[in-house]
């Protein structure tokens, strides 16, 4: 055999070798395709994970923000609660000297009754002291939950007392009494007087010292109604419920506590206080059920 023939034989692959080479290529191609598919799947999985991560990051950011808001709110509530306690302590401390001042100023008014200019001044002081007393009592009543101590009370006489106490605020307002003049009912005298006082003062302020205030006592076997109506500008329909919300006020020097305190006092008796729609002025209706709430 020549040298060329021997080289040719070694260099040219046999049929079997070619078939093996083909098979190896096929396996390689298949493996490459599978790897490519797996790579694509992995990439899709990685994309989905990235999206999920973005979502989680957004949710985490939102919850960190919420947490920050809650912390700020808790701080604000804490400060408000501390201020509320301070207001209650202040109101409590102020009440005793105010009581003494009220007594003294009443004596002084009697003393100077014959001197018109001194009387006017004394009555101004008396009005200021009564305003402060009213404010302090509302703050104290608002900060503590009313716990009525019921005693059979003549509500006609209670109305008389409230009207006498509110006389300086009523000024030239004409007071018209309707319905029963007397009706005994189990109530907490102080709580109900304060509720009624708040309604009467509001009516007086709404009428700015002149107009007609109607107070009607309507007892029945199942309930007792006390209606306080004035002919002032009335309450706009849109504010009919908000007026009972604590701190809602349309007055320059109002606290927005009068009606909230009155409603809480009436509710503590198991009753309701509502604004009755009326063509003229404002009409508040206080309803007390016959049966006192149990356990009080």
Per CB under 6 A, residues contacting ligand ADP are: 198, 202-203, 206, 230, 232, 234-235, 243, 248-251, 254-260, 282
CB of 225 to ligand ADP, least distance (A): 17
CB of 208 to ligand ADP, least distance (A): 11
Residue nearest to ligand ADP (CB): 258
Q: Which residue has the tokens 């703050």?
A: 139
* φ, ψ at 153 (rounded to 5°): -135, 140
Q: Which is nearer to ligand ADP, 143 or 255 (CB)?
A: 255
Q: How far is the CB of 261 from ligand ADP (least distance, A)?
A: 8
To the nearest whole angstrom, how small is the minimum distance from the Cβ of residue 152 to ligand ADP?
28
- Dist CA 84 CA 284 (whole Å): 29
Contact 231, 250 (CB under 8 A): no
Pick 248 or 289: Cβ nearer ligand ADP: 248
Of 148 and 281, which has the nearer Cβ to ligand ADP?
281
CB neighbourhood size of 180 (10 A): 13
Q: Which is nearer to ligand ADP, 249 or 287 (CB)?
A: 249
Backbone angles phi, psi at 54, to 5 degrees: -60, -45
- Min CB(131)–ligand ADP separation in Å: 11
Give the Å distances, CA to CA, from 62 to 10, 52, 65, 73, 237.
74, 15, 5, 16, 40
Q: Which is nearer to ligand ADP, 179 or 254 (CB)?
A: 254
Q: Which is nearer to ligand ADP, 223 or 248 (CB)?
A: 248
C-alpha gyration radius of the chain: 42
At 252, list the tokens.
């320059």
Compute the least distance from the CB of residue 127 to ligand ADP, in Å: 16
């Amino acid at each position: 055999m020549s040298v060329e023939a021997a080289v040719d034989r070694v260099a040219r692959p046999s049929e079997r070798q070619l078939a093996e080479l083909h098979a190896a290529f096929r396996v390689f191609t298949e493996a490459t395709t599978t790897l490519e598919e797996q790579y694509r799947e992995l990439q899709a999985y990685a994309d989905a994970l990235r999206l999920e991560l973005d979502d989680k990051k957004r949710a985490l950011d939102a919850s960190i923000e919420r947490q920050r808001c809650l912390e700020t709110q808790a701080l604000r509530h804490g400060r408000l609660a501390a201020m509320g306690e301070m207001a209650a302590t202040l109101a409590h401390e102020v009440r005793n000297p105010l009581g003494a001042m009220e007594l003294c100023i009443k004596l002084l008014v009697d003393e100077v009754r014959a001197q018109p200019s001194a009387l006017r001044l004394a009555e101004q002081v008396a009005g200021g002291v009564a305003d402060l007393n009213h404010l302090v009592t509302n703050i104290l009543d608002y900060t503590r939950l009313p716990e009525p101590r019921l005693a059979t009370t003549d509500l006609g006489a209670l109305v008389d007392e409230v009207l006498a106490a509110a006389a300086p605020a009523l000024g030239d307002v004409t007071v018209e009494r309707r319905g029963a003049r007397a009706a005994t009912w189990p109530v907490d005298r102080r709580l109900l007087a304060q509720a009624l006082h708040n309604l009467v003062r509001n009516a007086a302020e709404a009428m700015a010292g002149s107009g007609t205030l109607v107070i009607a006592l309507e007892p029945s076997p199942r309930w007792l109604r006390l209606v306080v109506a004035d002919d002032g500008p009335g309450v706009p329909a849109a504010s009919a419920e908000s007026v009972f919300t604590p701190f809602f006020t349309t007055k320059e020097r109002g606290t927005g506590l009068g009606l909230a305190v009155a409603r809480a006092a009436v509710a503590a008796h198991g009753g309701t206080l509502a604004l009755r729609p009326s063509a003229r002025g404002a009409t508040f209706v206080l309803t007390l059920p016959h049966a006192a709430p149990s356990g009080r």
